[in-house]
Amino acid sequence: MTAELLPVRSAAQGLALLCAVLALAWVVERRRGAGRAKAVLAGGPADGRGGWVWPEAAARWWAVLRGRRAWLCLPAAGVLAVLGASPLPLVAGALAVPLVARRLRAVESGREREARAERVVALCGAVVGELRAGWQPGQALSFAARETGALGVAEAPVLAAARFGGDVPEALRRAARQDGADGLAGMAACWQVAVDGGAGLAAGLERLEAALRDHREQRDRLRAELAGAWATVTVLALLPVAGLALGAALGAEPLRVLLHTPAGLGCLAVGGALEAAGLWWAARIVRGGERA
């Protein structure tokens, strides 16, 4: 019996080592990105003896792996499949890959949306500064847009309208359709009022910038208040995993019971459904508070 378990244990140890190496590489890459940002902001060199530049082959490998982080579900499922001597974890891991990928895309989209909103606020401040310095509105917008990159894919139409006397407010409204660029609609309104009514563009953009900053601070405060709720959801999600680990430590063999007995399979199906429903409901409540 012991001889039969040796290959299984060896395979499980190999898969566990692979998962540990991938996790370590992810942590190192995050630290490397933070170091790169600090070096750039401090005016330091992007390469040299900073100690965070990887070999080119390793960097390419990590770039490929980072775009497919959802596939890391398969090695983890493989470890459970080997430990439990059942293909069910592999099936569950394969089904989890598209769900995890969708979640990661949503997170990345949210980060891009927030970054674009930050750039819009910076654009308003930059245009105000250039107008105060005596530049014409079109010149100020062109310079500030190139400096901040807030217009994204709509930069060329907006700059063309500003340079050749086109309809700048309409171009800004079209640019505001991008996710996270809602503040450009307010800039378009300020530009329209300044052109039609002769009001000061700098004063309007200054008030718009203040309003956008207040909105961002309010969102940050709400997110800080909801951090406790998200932490509770995370703890509740990890409780079943902790229970399985505790049972394995006590020698109860929970994987064998769950994957090889009718009662265990029934408990696994019902528990998994309840876990998924609970997480969905808790996340829905928290996101409702964020939207409100």
At 119 the pLDDT is: 92
Whole-prediction pTM: 0.67
Convert the pLDDT of each residue in 226-253 to its tens digit: 888 888 888 888 888 888 888 888 888 8
Contact call for residues 147 and 126 (beta carbons, < 8 A): yes
Convert the pLDDT of each residue in 119-169 to its tens digit: 999 999 999 998 888 888 888 998 998 888 888 888 898 989 888 888 889
Contact call for residues 65 and 19 (beta carbons, < 8 A): no
Most confident of 177-181, 206-210, 238-242, 256-260: 206-210
Q: How far apart are CA 157 and CA 82, in angstroms?
A: 57
Q: Check pLDDT > 50 for residue 37.
A: no
Predicted confidence band of residue 38 (pLDDT cuts 50, 70, 90)? very low
H helix runs in 133-200, sequence order: 137-148, 155-163, 168-175, 183-197
